[in-house]
Amino acid sequence: MLRFLFRRLLIAIPTMFIVVTLAFFMMRAAPGSPFVNERHLSPEVEANVMAKYGMNRPLAVQYATYVGGVLHGDLGPSLKYKDKTVLKIISEGFPHSLLIGGLAMTIAAIVGVSLGVVGALRQNGPADYTAMGVAVLGVCIPTFVTAPLLVLLFASMLGVLPTGGWPTASQPLSSAWRYFVMPVAVLSLPQIAIISRLTRAGMIEVLRSNYVRTARAKGLPEHSVVLRHALRGAILPLVSYLGPATAGVITGSLVVERIFSLPGIGRAFVASALQRDYTVVMGVVILYAGLILFLNLVADVLYAALDPRVRLS
């Protein structure tokens, strides 16, 4: 087990290094200085600004400084917000993004697995078709379509949910939840679609397997066969979907946080991208890459721990 973890880390570390390097050189290869968009600076002032951010030094030195900073958790200053560091922007937004993303993943797992199991048990029945219909819609309707349409329907026309924003800290949970309904629904729908498909396929296969037949032959009640025996095997493939699911939720959060004006990292990322605030964009890309790599690692370890057939060599 330890050796396996070690090997995976050996792959993850160079990958992370490639991310940092790619991000750094892409940014530096950009034509023009990052400050050209601001008021016209005289050459002297611009040289001063460049010197302040250390951009007048040789590229190799800058690169070494940046990598050194990243290793210490220092992602540099924001180029647009003079009083903020990239780390501050990220740490302000992250709890909000984590809450919304975590809720979306939890709901997607519960609803997706239930739909998949029902679909597999009642194959080609009305429940199956409904579940698969939801799955198809979830895959084909992108978040940037569902989000505005839901706002139009529930906020503008029916007026039952707020158009967006984040509840204040003093707001009681009984009214604060309304702010989360639409963002979480939009983020989880595509994941529900994929999870229910995976579960259905896994369940159908497992229900035909020998150990399930044995369980039935022992005279176990149906619910016990399905929930205790079959489900365990059927949701195993879901574990390896953890990494891609995280990537999907993160990508979706860019759209969702923008539309519902949630104060998360996604919105900060898009705003920085549009303002060409390179350091923030780089910092967030590095964070996301790290997060996805980490969850992929977790998924691999979990998979190996749950499935005795997988040998960690």
| Binding site residues, other proteins, CB under 8 A | 11, 14-15, 18-19, 22-23, 26-27, 29-31, 136, 139-142, 144-145, 147-149, 151-152, 156, 243, 247, 250-251, 254-255, 258-259, 270, 273-274, 276, 278, 281-282, 284-285, 288-289, 292-293, 296
To the nearest whole angstrom, how small is the minimum distance from the Cβ of residue 312 to other proteins? 17
To the nearest whole angstrom, how small is the minimum distance from the Cβ of residue 153 to other proteins? 10
Residues paired with 312 in a beta bridge: none
Closest CA to 294 of 71, 7, 4, 16: 16
To the nearest whole angstrom, how small is the minimum distance from the Cβ of residue 7 to other proteins? 12
Distance of CA 117 to the CA centre of its chain: 25
To the nearest whole angstrom, how small is the minimum distance from the Cβ of residue 233 to other proteins? 19
To the nearest whole angstrom, how small is the minimum distance from the Cβ of residue 193 to other proteins? 11
To the nearest whole angstrom, how small is the minimum distance from the Cβ of residue 269 to other proteins? 8
- Which one, 13 or 45, has the nearer CB to other proteins? 13
- Which one, 225 or 279, has the nearer CB to other proteins? 279
Closest CA to 235 of 267, 265, 186, 195: 195
To the nearest whole angstrom, how small is the minimum distance from the Cβ of residue 77 to other proteins? 18
Tokens of 24: 């750094």
Closest CA to 111 of 194, 14, 217: 194
- Which one, 45 or 152, has the nearer CB to other proteins? 152
Residue partners of 115: CB distance under 8 A and separation at least 6: 131, 134, 135, 192, 196, 199, 200
